[in-house]
Amino acid sequence: MYLYWVKKQRLLDPDLGEYISFGIGVWDLRAGTKPLLFIPDASTDGKAVLNLAIRCTLGRLDPCQLMDVVEDFLC
């Protein structure tokens, strides 16, 4: 089973300055404690990223599809 999680990040952009963003990652609960994949700076909307992580976990999304799902989420 895969668990999708959200990480709050404090980032710095040369034009925007400092800002808060949220990334999404995935763990394989059968394989140990290291994340399989993490996509940083997915959105500045933490609630939206959290909802995406919950939907990915409940929908048992395969990690190889996460990048496509995040791209669709951003459109």
Give 11-27 pLDDT, tens digit per residue: 999 999 999 999 999 99
Predicted pLDDT at 32: 74
Report d(CA 5, CA 50) in Å as an integer.
7
Q: How far apart are CA 2 and CA 4, in angstroms?
A: 6
* Secondary structure (3-state) at 56: helix
What confidence tens digit (pLDDT) does each residue in 35-60 have?
899 999 999 999 999 999 999 999 99
Q: Tell me, what amino acid is at 31?
A: A
The residues spanned by each domain of the chain are: 2-74
Task: Give pTM, 2 decimals.
Answer: 0.89
Q: What DSSP string runs through 11-40? A: EEETTTEEEEEEEEEEEETTT-SSEEEEEE
Residue 49 and residue 15: Cα distance in Å, rounded? 24
